[in-house]
Amino acid sequence: MNKDFVDQVLDAAARVVAGGAISANGHGNVSLRVPGAEEMYYTSASSLKGLRADGIVRVALDGTLLEGTLPPIQAAVVAMHTAMYRDRADVGCVVHTHSPHATAFAVANRPIACWIEALAMFGLADGVAVAAYAPRGSEQAVANIRAAVRPGAPAVLLANHGVLVFHRTPDLAVLIGGVIEEAAQAALSAQALGGPVEIAADMRAAALQRAMALDAAGAKTA
């Protein structure tokens, strides 16, 4: 296996864990598309905590295991990763977790609306949709995910399961996972104060435009 790709997956998994957008047992998986090839590197361990190089495998985008050992429970969700790569050429990394607050919305089958500015800034101005439940790794589960993905949106909730994030780079995928967990946590806390209030549609667009303008301006130096 290519050490550089292995190291990138290990780094992404470590940052998911460090960021806290993950369940107590660390269950989840991370994959990385290999540029110019119909394959990905994928975590085969049951937990992202303490992940080692031997917990990563090489898998073709048709689901064929190319290198490594892949337990059945982890193999079952390979298809939702490969589906994102096959459907969207811009996707370079997929992250799946059971981050506690976002998964609460998934278990309730309730979408996350655009309650915090960061969602509008990072491609989720319409919130995070819910993909209907179907048994783990089944054709129906993958079809439900594909049906729920909104054009340009980098994430969906998986009903009664967890969260799936897909973006251009590992940095962005990990970031979006954290933003979604933050939005879910804030909304649940806001219930004690009358409930979360969604940002108005025009202000969501303004937040995105502002973020793009600041990014274009670049960093300032003294």
Q: Write out the two tokens for 108.
A: 């309730």
Dump pLDDT digits (tens) for 54-69: 999 999 999 999 999 9
Q: Is 155:176 a contact under the CB 8 Å cutoff?
A: yes
Structural domains in the chain, CATH included, are 3-217 (3.40.225.10)
Dump pLDDT digits (tens) for 29-49: 999 999 999 999 999 998 999
Q: Is 59:86 a contact under the CB 8 Å cutoff?
A: no
Q: Is 28:162 a contact under the CB 8 Å cutoff?
A: yes
Q: Is 136:158 a contact under the CB 8 Å cutoff?
A: no
Q: Write out the two tokens for 130.
A: 């819910």
**Model pTM score:** 0.93
For each of the chain's 222 residues, which pLDDT tens digit applies? 899 999 999 999 999 999 999 999 999 999 999 999 999 999 999 899 999 999 999 999 999 999 999 999 899 999 999 999 999 999 999 999 999 999 999 999 999 999 999 999 998 999 999 999 999 889 999 999 999 999 989 999 999 999 999 999 999 999 999 999 999 999 999 999 999 999 999 998 888 888 778 777 777 777
pLDDT score at 210: 81
- Straight-line distance from the first to the last Cα atom of the chain, in angstroms, rounded to the nearest whole number: 44
